[in-house]
Homo-oligomer: A and B are copies of this chain.
Amino acid sequence: MKTLIVYAHPEPRSLNGSLKDLAVSTLEGAGHDVLVSDLYAMNWKAAIDAADFGPCDPLRIPRASGQAFDAGTLTPDVRAEQEKLLWADTVIFQFPLWWYSMPAILKGWVDRVFSFHFAYGVGEHSDTRYGERFGEGTLAGRRAMLSVTTGGPESHYAERGINGPIDDLLFPIHHGILYYPGLEVLPPFVLYGTDRLSDEEYPDVAKAWTDRLLTLDSTAPIAFRRQNYGDYEIPSLQLKDGLEPTGRSGFGLHVR
């Protein structure tokens, strides 16, 4: 495997830092190649703005980012991340869940690296196809997985928990960010209750994470529906009648 780890935590000695280090040593120890994008250490620029592109007045981000991608003139930091994504067959995102989503610096990695013509605006539109996305696209054939820590306990993220189910909270990332440009998404590795995690509990955590890392190859991805293969009306992209699993609604409709 060739694995890219995109890591977003400001403190190297944090739990997230430890999990990132463990992923590197575990995967390298198993003979895999690993690259790490340590966004805080890289001082990653989070806010997409006019400085990301050549002169454009007014700034329209899809147009500007598509033109810069086509011309090879995106900024070097963004191009380097796109090259890492194309090099990798597996992408792991290691981050703490802050306010039920990713840290701003990681959202800024998505906003800037997932440029027009790279991650969206790809492929032809026709009566039977609505571009290459949701199962097709530039990153098709690759796999991704989130490794996430939460402060609160697991019950708060359960089916009836006050925060909402973790699968639904992560759906906009899993489906909307990762699956959109073609990545197959593995079930996440989620550590709950990390505000109260003791040193004594860490060996069990490390064991569970190591087990996941060493079975990435054989882990089945989440069975999100593909956009262009008959499940959706085009161009409304509504799920066709009768395809909904019994009792499922909302985000759950989009899993086979």
- Chain A positions near chain B (C-beta within 8 angstroms): 10-11, 13-14, 40, 44, 46-50, 58-62, 98-105, 107-108, 110-111, 114, 134, 151, 153, 155-156, 158-165, 168-169, 171-172, 175-177, 180, 195, 227, 232, 235-239, 244, 247, 249-254
> Shortest beta-carbon distance, A234 to chain B, in Å?
10
Can you give 10 A-B contacts (C-beta < 8 A)? A14-B60, A40-B49, A46-B105, A99-B110, A99-B176, A104-B104, A104-B111, A158-B238, A161-B238, A249-B249
Q: Which B residue's beta carbon lies closest to that of A225?
A: B162
| Pairwise interchain contact B164-A171, C-beta atoms closer than 8 A | yes
Q: Which of B58, B102, B165 contacts A250 (CB 8 A)?
A: B165
| Pairwise interchain contact B100-A172, C-beta atoms closer than 8 A | yes
**Given known A163-B176, A165-B250, A254-B162, contact A151–B62 (CB-CB < 8 A):** yes
Copies of this chain in its oligomeric complex: 2
Dominant SS among interface residues on chain A: loop
| Pairwise interchain contact B162-A237, C-beta atoms closer than 8 A | yes
A101-B101, A161-B237, A164-B254 known; 15 new pairs, CB 8 Å cut-off, are A46-B47, A48-B104, A99-B107, A99-B180, A100-B176, A101-B107, A104-B105, A159-B250, A161-B238, A162-B254, A164-B175, A164-B176, A164-B250, A168-B251, A249-B250
Which residues of B sit under 8 angstroms from A100, Cβ to Cβ?
172, 176-177
Which residues of B sit under 8 angstroms from A103, Cβ to Cβ?
47-48, 107, 111
**Given known A11-B59, A58-B11, A250-B251, contact A156–B237 (CB-CB < 8 A):** yes
Which residues of B sit under 8 angstroms from A249, Cβ to Cβ?
159, 247, 249-250
